A and B are shown apart, each in its own frame.
Chain A
Amino acid sequence: MNARTLLLSALALACAAVSPALAARVTGVVVDRDGRPVEFANVRVPALQKGVITDDRGAFTIELPDGPCVLECAQIGYQRSRISLVVREGLAPLRVTLPDEPVPVAEVNVEASAFGKTGKSEGAVVRRADVLMTPGGAADIFQSLRALPGINAPAEGAALYVRGGDPSETVIRLDGAEIGHPYHYEGASGGLFSILDAYMLKSAFFSSGGFTSKYGGAMSGVLDIETQDPMNLRAVNVGANMAGYGVSTTWALVPDRLSLMVTTAKSIPEMLLRANGVTNDYVQAPWSENGAAKLLWRYSPTGRLSLLGIGSNEHLAVEANALNVKELYASNARNGFGALHLQDAILGRVAVRANLTSQAWRSAWSFAEFVQRTDERTTQADVDLTWAAGPRHQFSGGAVWRRRASDRSGFAAADSTDLASGAPGRAYGTARVTREPGFYLEDKLRVAGTLYATLGARADLADASDRWTVDPRAALALLVDEHQTLRVAAGRYHQLPTLTLLDARYGNPTLEPAYADHWIAGYEWKSDFGNVRLEGYEKRYRNLPLVDPVTWYRAEGTGRARGADVFVQGTWKQVNGWVSYGWLDSRRRQFDDPEEVRASGAVKHSLTVVGKYEWSGRWHTGARWTHSSGRPWTPVVGAVWDHTRGVWHPVYGAHGSATMPAYDRLDVRLMRLFSLPKLGGLRASNVCVAYLEAMNVLDTPNVLEYVYNSNYTKRLPEYSYFSDRMLVAGFGLSW
């Protein structure tokens, strides 16, 4: 055999390999579950790289070589179907049934009590637009969230009181990393507004209970905020109103690769107060500032690395009255937060998110002769992995390691009922450091048909008591049809004690973490026009901290919260809005409560009605009405004269035995959208906005707290910050 013969043989062999000697015509029909033909479905044999489509009757014909092969049928809206067959002449026509494509696990919102961006069953979505457009929300994420069910706000602060839990029981995350003290003026109702600029916000997931194992360290709620990540945008925004101003920008330094986002804002409400003729006792008008910068690097089609820094600062000095002592109350706080964030996909299947964060928060206040300084530092590393293992399962897991350190020192009254000049006092100082690792695993799965579940558990080390806590959690969602979903959820939620309670001298260094057990059941109906949610819940608290004469604190407090939330959201032509109602019955025994009493943040009825109307593309108007029944408080029922000190000491009634008057507020907003033309070297603007907002239109005097006359025989109301009608005008320009 010479070379020529060999080459010819090779060519002949090659041709033989390509063109099968025996080709059979395989025919068949593709039908759906009800036997109806599926037209234009793709029928292919991937191994042979051959494909055809079905005709109007679902029929197909494909030429295949004799022998075994795998036939694949696919069409949008149906599950892909594979059948193995042995092709031979005379093969009977095939009948391939394509089942309806189930909603992918990743798209189902199994969690109860959740308002989020993801999921086919999503209800209200908290996006930047919602934050900016909600009347009375002051373009603040926390103020806007107050309009959602599950948040029983006892006053007009921005802090999140979730289903009876105080703000410390809700964990707040930013791009997956935990952030503490994200409020300005925490002394006022737990915080008046956020240190996060709404411009940074992309979306937010909010849960008022029953959340999954991913979230640890919170007994009541979760707010998981995603910041924007534009890669090609070059925009500048300037905004100002009577209470402050801000500038923000997003700048693609290297398009598609490197981008920078910067925001700064300063709040000076003095002009707002003066313009509205509001009298106040400010010695120094309050001011606050916050800024953020995010450098985002897309190093591969799937990988992003970002460096985020947030800083805030605030000052306040006001004449205040506490227990008949009218003195200067001054406070200041500084917050610094830095996060290195990585997200990528391993092998294109496993999504990875990792964070390395560090936060330092310092605050100080003084009143009369008393002062307190707090210094908190938190360092955290965490990683989350999500693996979509197929249409039925999505596995998640993650680990966290956190170091918390707190130093608190000051000079406090020896007798909490005597703050007058010369009152005996004591200097104190607490310091504690903890190191707390934790991890979780969960599976979001399609159980059968349209029944979906999330099953998981997390474990966290309570460093103080050197004990691992284990929290099993489960949620079920049944998609009854395309409009209706039933959900149930249950789980255990541990929360580690605050560090001041763990102090070696003034606390219990081995204090056990508290926990709550959640049970939730809900129904949701949604369509293109609206969304209705009904939910009932019950929470049982255990190991709440109680004051102890020997150990300072012991973890034996108990409590419960039960309630129902109703949320109705709708859109009709140019009108949209929602009604949110919450009923809550919450009782707790914690700290010095002698028995279970109504929890301090427990507002029995909360109703919010939000309506927005779009007059034209340019003009928008909206209103928000909030009504809350009064929150519990502890009244002074008498007084005892102290001859030695020459002061009256108040005598308190039973804990939480009185109720504040109901809270009512109506806010109205008028907004006009416009654009500015190209001017000189300045390009034409993007959407700009001018607005006029009337806060507390009805001039309702809402009571914030009570003060007393010198012998506690007369009670005088102190009204809330927005008890006078106020007009705010402002604008936002964008290029």
Chain B
Amino acid sequence: MLRRFLIALPLLVVIACAVTTTARAASPAELVAAQRQLDEAVTKGEPKEILRTRAVFAAMLAAEPDSPVLNYWIALCGWRALPMLTETDKEAAKKLCKESIAACDRVLAAKPKHADAIALKAALQALSLAFNPAASMSLGPEMIEAYGKAEALEPENPRVQLLKGINTLHMPAFVGGGPDKAKPVFERAIALADADAARGAGPDAWGRADAHLWAGICASRANDWKTAAARFREALAIAPGHAWLSKRLLPDAEKHLAEGGAR
């Protein structure tokens, strides 16, 4: 009897541990729900909703404190909310930026070759320049280096191209930035994102609407309002009801088009 019990004891422990872990880790369904929640929050253009979603991901961390996936999405929520939050509460934005970069660092500590996290960290560093413009001289080359590294790791990753394109667009022309230089990068991001979508990529493959949206912004910066409006419409078709697109970007582009036509 005792012998049988001793044989069964390790089995019991293994089963108990396995069941415990499975039961308490964030389920794929919960993760997908949170990713969709973030999509909706971005579509609404509500920083508060984005922060709420960030908290949902953070709550899931209770079960998997070192999860690279969760930390990545926490950082992504930060990147989504930061531009809006910076306008209303700079101090809170500064703290969120710092936390988001720290979340990227946690991803990279676990997976140093996580191309998405490398590019996202560079994008967050770019946003951090709003609080510390003097750091641009040291962060600038570091960011370019990071995008190069992410691209080398995953040349077919549309999100790396998207973030690289945004960075290129915001860089001054005399350092190799501007709409002309960013345009092909966004076009590549669109092609890759569309191909991903055609293959049926899940909600974790974010960025398709963003690629079209930023390609539109890029065109508008080059005063190519026709392309801009077309890109914005494509983006709206992917993310129907997108507040920024429908209330600001597309009407602006159409207004410019109309004015151009009138002249």
Contact = CB atoms under 8 A, between A and B. Distances in A.
A13 B16 contact: yes
Contacts of B16: 13-14, 17-18
A482 interface: yes
Secondary structure dominating the interface of A: mixed
A42 to B, nearest CB: 5
B55 A3 contact: no
B243 interface: no
B90 A18 contact: no
Contact of A230 (B4, B99, B145): B145
A255 B148 CA distance: 11
B228 interface: no
A129 interface: yes
A119 to B, nearest CB: 13
Secondary structure dominating the interface of B: helix
Contact of A10 (B15, B59, B65, B92): B15
Given A14-B12, A202-B138, A51 B61 contact: yes
A127 B138 contact: yes
A687 B174 contact: yes
A53 interface: yes
Interface in A344-380: none
A127 to B, nearest CB: 6
A10 B6 CA distance: 12
Interface in A683-705: 684-687
Given A51-B59, A76-B95, A675-B176, A686 B141 contact: yes
A53 B174 contact: no
A675 B55 contact: no
Nearest to B54: A40
B96 interface: yes
Interface in A37-58: 39-46, 48-54
A350 to B, nearest CB: 18
Interface string A104-132: 00000000000000000000010111101
B29 interface: no
Interface string B33-65: 000000000000000100110111011111111
B1 interface: yes
A130 B135 CA distance: 10
B112 A40 contact: no
A617 B177 CA distance: 12
B122 to A, nearest CB: 11
B96 to A, nearest CB: 6
A411 B20 CA distance: 86
Contacts of A46: 62, 65
A726 to B, nearest CB: 27
B195 interface: no
A715 interface: no
B262 interface: no
A673 interface: yes
B221 interface: no
Interface in A115-153: 125, 127-130, 132
A510 to B, nearest CB: 48
A232 B12 contact: no
B4 A53 contact: no
Given A18-B20, A129-B137, A674-B174, A42 B92 contact: no
Given A11-B15, A232-B149, A49 B63 contact: yes
Given A6-B8, A13-B12, A129-B134, A233 B141 contact: yes
Contact of A53 (B59, B141, B172): B59
Interface string B115-154: 0000000000000000000111110111011101100000
Contacts of B175: 673, 675, 686-687
B73 to A, nearest CB: 14
Interface in B70-108: 90-92, 95-96, 99
B11 A7 contact: yes
A642 interface: no
A77 B59 contact: no
A44 B54 CA distance: 15
Given A53-B56, A673-B175, A44 B62 contact: yes
Contacts of A53: 52, 55-56, 58-59
Nearest to A54: B55
A255 B149 contact: yes
A3 B5 CA distance: 9
Contacts of A129: 134, 136-138
Give the residue among B24, B141, B172 with the most A Cβ atoms within 10 A.
B141
B77 to A, nearest CB: 10
Given A42-B55, A232-B145, A687-B175, A15 B62 contact: no
A50 B24 contact: yes
Contacts of A301: 109, 112
Interface in A583-639: 617-618
23 contacts: A1-B1, A7-B11, A9-B8, A10-B11, A11-B15, A13-B12, A18-B16, A18-B20, A40-B51, A40-B54, A48-B24, A49-B63, A53-B55, A77-B95, A129-B136, A130-B134, A230-B145, A301-B112, A617-B174, A673-B175, A674-B174, A675-B176, A686-B141
Interface of B: 1, 4-5, 8, 11-12, 15-16, 19-20, 23-25, 48, 51-52, 54-56, 58-65, 90-92, 95-96, 99, 109, 112, 134-138, 140-142, 144-146, 148-149, 172-176
Given A42-B61, A54-B55, 16 more contacts: A10-B8, A10-B11, A10-B15, A11-B15, A19-B23, A39-B51, A44-B59, A51-B59, A53-B56, A127-B135, A202-B138, A233-B142, A617-B173, A675-B174, A685-B176, A686-B141
Enumerate the 8 nearest inter-chain pairs by beta-carbon distance, A residue then B residue, closest first: A51-B62, A40-B55, A44-B62, A51-B59, A10-B12, A53-B55, A617-B172, A129-B137
Interface of A: 1, 3, 6-7, 9-11, 13-15, 17-19, 39-46, 48-54, 76-77, 125, 127-130, 132, 202, 230, 232-233, 235, 255-256, 301, 482, 528, 617-618, 673-675, 684-687
